[in-house]
Amino acid sequence: MRERHLLDRITQQIQESIQRRYELDETFRYNDGLLSRLRGFEKVTSLFQIKAENSNDEDSIDWKKYISDELSKASDLSEGVKTNKHRLSKRYGMAPKVSRRMAPKVTVLIDTSGSISDGLLKRFVNEMEGILRKCNIPLVLYFFSTEAQERQKVDKKGKLLDVKDRGGTNVSAALKQMPREDLEQIDYLIIFTDGFDSFPEAVMKQLDAKKIFIFPKGNYNHNYYKKANEYGKALFID
């Protein structure tokens, strides 16, 4: 009887050991897969929609005001001239010219890599819409991970936006895939990221647009942040 009881205990311990080893192996496999995604070796494809949830102008933070001021200055200073073809000047017998403010062209990139939590991604989208809300200008948006996702135009509040990749991070590859008019013919390039990637120095050197980088406080790549300040303005959100 004692031998039977002892055998049962040994069998139970072996089964528990096997179960713990299985759980440990599963944990290692998960973490290894997660690390490979964060390093940019693997692209994880998903598809969901996201939209800004906060439409209250009263909760703006300092960096948002800074961006709004900069964009407002560009809007005030950029004046185009067009000819009014429907009215002739009685004095000169020619169509008068009227001035028209030209809204600055703004391209926004939002990091959707595996190191960006769902909460932070929503925060990025909320702040991106804050630019639209305060400055009343359309934005060209690209989500990116290891590559640029499809081009989306953000021209109204609460618009559903498509996110297709949640994998590694390679902003250099994403920038190289984007059309020239969305990089070389713009006034502002705004990148939301945690910076866990190689800084796209070669591309930044070629762009004349003003560059603004947005980082989350606490969890960001400090070296990337320093480089961002060399080539543009680096700001934080909570």
The CA-based diameter of the chain, rounded to the nearest angstrom, is 120
List 82's β-bridge partners, or say none. 98
Q: Are residues 34 and 50 in the same domain?
A: no
Q: What gap in Å lies between CA 98 and CA 205, rounded to an integer?
A: 36
Q: Are residues 33 and 81 in the same domain?
A: no
Q: Are residues 27 and 110 in the same domain?
A: no
Q: What gap in Å lies between CA 90 and CA 127, rounded to an integer?
A: 50
18 Cβ neighbours under 8 A, 6+ residues apart = none
What is the full per-residue pLDDT of the chain (238 aa) written as tens digits?
A: 666 666 667 667 666 665 655 454 444 444 444 444 444 445 556 577 888 876 554 445 444 465 555 555 655 544 444 444 445 545 545 555 544 556 788 999 999 999 999 999 999 999 888 888 777 788 999 999 999 999 999 999 889 999 988 888 999 999 999 999 999 999 899 999 999 999 999 999 999 999 999 999 989 999 999 999 999 999 888 7
Q: Are residues 231 and 141 in the same domain?
A: yes
Q: Are residues 141 and 25 in the same domain?
A: no
pLDDT at position 129 = 86
Q: Are residues 116 and 133 in the same domain?
A: yes
Q: Are residues 72 and 91 in the same domain?
A: yes
The CATH number of the domain holding residue 141 is 3.40.50.410
Q: Are residues 163 and 118 in the same domain?
A: yes
Q: Are residues 21 and 120 in the same domain?
A: no
Which two tokens mark 188? 């502002």
pLDDT at position 45 = 60
Q: Are residues 128 and 210 in the same domain?
A: yes
What pTM was computed for the model?
0.70
Q: Are residues 29 and 84 in the same domain?
A: no
Domain count, the chain: 2
Q: What gap in Å lies between CA 82 and CA 72, rounded to an integer?
A: 21
What is the residue whose two structure tokens read 């595996």? 114
What is the residue whose two structure tokens read 């790549």? 221
Segments forming the whole domain that contains residue 9: 1-38
pLDDT at position 24 = 46
Q: Are residues 98 and 127 in the same domain?
A: yes
